[in-house]
Amino acid sequence: MTTQLKMKASQFLTDLQTKGLRLTSLDQEHVSRRGGAGPSDHQAITVDGTTLMVPIYTQTAWASPFTLSDESMGKVTDAAQNKPVSQLLSNSIPLADVTFAIDPEFYKLSTADGIPYSHIATLHSTDVLATTVLQTCIRYESRRKACQFCSIGQSLRAGRTIAHKTPQQLAEVAKAAVELDGIKHIVMTTGTPASADRGAKVMCESAKGIKAVVDVPIQGQCEPPKDPVWYQRMKDAGIDSLGMHLEVITPELRKTITPGKSEVSLEEYFQAFEDAVAVFGRGQVSTYILAGLGDTEETIIGTCRKLVAMGVYPFVVPFVPISGTPLEDRPAPTAAFMEAVLQPLAQELVSLDMTSDKVKAGCARCGACSSLSRFEKEAADVTV
C-alpha cells in the first residue's frame, strides 16, 4: 500500500467496500458475480494482502470515487500469483496496486451430462468453493415472505446455475477445485425447503458426498432446524462449522425486511445458537448480520457481544444493494457506520480469543465480505 494512504488499512478497506469500485471496463477473465445467493454483484480484489469482495454492479459503485487506472489495468502481471495487477485510484489519485481473482481452472470443466462445473459451485474470494445446494426457497417464492435483499432466484432464471446440486455433482466439482485450484475450504448454503429440518438434511447429504472424495473443511448454512438433533447429524456428516444467519436484528425490521424468516423468532435463533455451539464448539457457529438495513450501532454491538459470549461468531458485513431486489435503491452503509461497529466488535473477539482465523470454514474464515478480520488484526497488534 502506498504512503499516500494515511488512514489505517481497516478504514481504507471499509471505505472501498462500502462505496464499491467504479469500473469503466472489465477484463472477462476477472471473477465477478451477478445475482444469486452470497456475495452478488461483487468482484474479488486483493489489496495489501487482504482479499475483499467489492461491489461493482451496484448503484453505489457507479458513483464511487474508486476507479482503476486505464493505463495499468491488467497490463502488469504478479509473477508470484500469475494475476493481472492494476492501480487503484481515488478521485484520480493513485492509492495502491491491486490484483483480481481470475477464473479458476475448474470452470473449464463440465459433468458427463454437460453441466458446467461453474453452474454447480463457484469461486468466492481466491480460495473458497461456494455452492447453493437448493437454489429455490419457500421464502423467495412468496412475494409476502421473501427477504427484501435476496436474489437467490436471479442466477437460476438467468441459466447460470441449476436448482438442485446432487451430492455426486458437488463431490466431483469439489475434488477438481481442490486439485486444480488449491481450494482451502467450502461453503454450502441453501434456500429453505418446506420441511422441518429447514435445509439441514440436504446439508448432511451434500457433506457426506464431498467428504467421501476430498478432505477439506466445510461450512453448512441453513435456518435453525426445528429439531436440535440435526446439529449432531450435520457434524457427523462432515460439517465442520455452521452458519445460521440473523441478517436483521430489530423485531420490527425483521418483519419488514425478512418477513418469512421473522416467523422464526429471535428467541428460537438464540436457543438454536446455544444448541449448535454445544455440538460444534465455541467459535464454530456463526451468524451473518447485515449492517445498514436499519439496526442501530448500539443494537448491533449489543447483540454481537451477547453472541460472542455464547460462543457464536457474529460476521457483520455491509449491506450491498443488489439490482432487481426490492432494496436495490437503498444506499449502502457509510464507512463511518461500519467502523463504529467493527472496531469494538473486533476488540471483543480478540479479547475472548475468538477471531476469524480460528473458524474452520465458511464466511467468517474467508472474511472477504467484510473488513472485520483486518480490524481484528489491528486490535491484536494493540493488545500485544
Residues 215 and 334 in one domain: yes
Same domain, 53 and 178: no
3-class DSSP assignment, residue 203: helix
Query: Which domain does 274 fall in, by range?
Result: 105-383
Q: Does residue 251 share a domain with residue 153?
A: yes
Which residue, among 358, 217, 352, has the nearest Cα to 286 in the 3D structure? 358
Q: Give alpha helix (H) positions in 281-351.
A: 297-310, 335-351
Percent of the chain with pLDDT over 90: 65
Question: What does the block give as the cell for 180?
Answer: 486444480
The reply to whether 16 and 129 lie within a common domain is no
Query: Same domain for 80 and 179?
Result: no
Do 325 and 282 lie in one domain? The reply is: yes
Return the pLDDT at 292.
Answer: 96
Of 100, 135, 167, the last residue of a domain is: 100
354 domain-assigned: yes
Q: Using the structure block, give the residue that is written with the C-alpha cell 452503509.
A: 333
Same domain, 128 and 237: yes
pLDDT value of position 82: 56
Classify residue 51: in a domain, yes or no. Answer: yes
Coarse DSSP helix, strand, coil percentages of the chain, rounded to the nearest 5 percent: 35, 20, 45
Core vs surface per residue 249-278: b (16+ CB within 10 A) or e: bbeebbeebbbbbbebeeeebbebbebbbe
- Do 316 and 370 have their domain in common? yes
Give me the percent of the chain exceeding a pLDDT of 70: 89
Q: How many domains does the chain have?
A: 2
Q: pLDDT at position 293, please?
A: 96
| 69 and 215 together in one domain | no
Residues 58 and 80 occupy one common structural domain: yes
Same domain (yes/no): 173, 71: no
**Of the residues 45, 74, 100, the one at which a domain ends:** 100
CA distances from 194 to 134, 188, 224, 246 (A): 12, 18, 13, 19
Report yes or no on 208 lying in a domain: yes
| Domain membership flag for residue 64 | yes
In a domain, 3, yes or no: no
What is the spatial distance between Cα 221 and Cα 78, in angstroms, rounded to a whole number?
35
Q: Which of 256, 261, 352, 264 is nearest to 304 (CA)?
A: 352
Same domain, 226 and 296: yes
Query: For residue 153, what pLDDT is reported?
Result: 80
Looking at 157-299, which runs of residues are DSSP E strands?
185-189, 218-221, 241-243, 285-291
Residue 129 placed within a domain: yes
**4 within domain boundaries:** no
pLDDT on residue 85: 83
Last residue of one domain, picked from the residues 84, 100, 116: 100
Q: What is the pLDDT of residue 246?
A: 97
Per the CB < 8 A criterion, the answer to whether 310 and 277 are in contact is yes
pLDDT of residue 135: 92
Three-class secondary structure of residue 135 per DSSP = coil
Measured CA distances, 223 to 7, 46, 208, 216, 232 (Å): 38, 31, 19, 23, 15
Taking only the tens place, the pLDDT of each residue in 336-362 is 999 999 999 999 999 999 999 999 999
CATH of the domain at 214: 3.20.20.70
User: Residue 353, exposed/middle/buried by CB under 10 A (0-12, 13-18, 19+)?
Assistant: exposed
What predicted TM-score, i.e. pTM, was given to this entire model?
0.91
Chunked into runs of 10 residues, the chain (384 residues) has average pLDDT values of 58 92 61 50 83 84 85 51 78 88 93 94 93 92 85 80 95 98 97 95 98 98 98 98 97 96 96 98 97 97 98 96 87 95 97 97 95 94 72
Identify whether 39 is part of a domain.
Answer: yes
Give every CB contact of residue 149 below 8 A, 6+ residues apart in sequence: 247, 257, 290, 293, 319, 321, 322, 325, 326, 327
- Tell me the three state secondary structure of residue 288: strand
The secondary structure element, H or E, covering residue 94 is strand 93-100
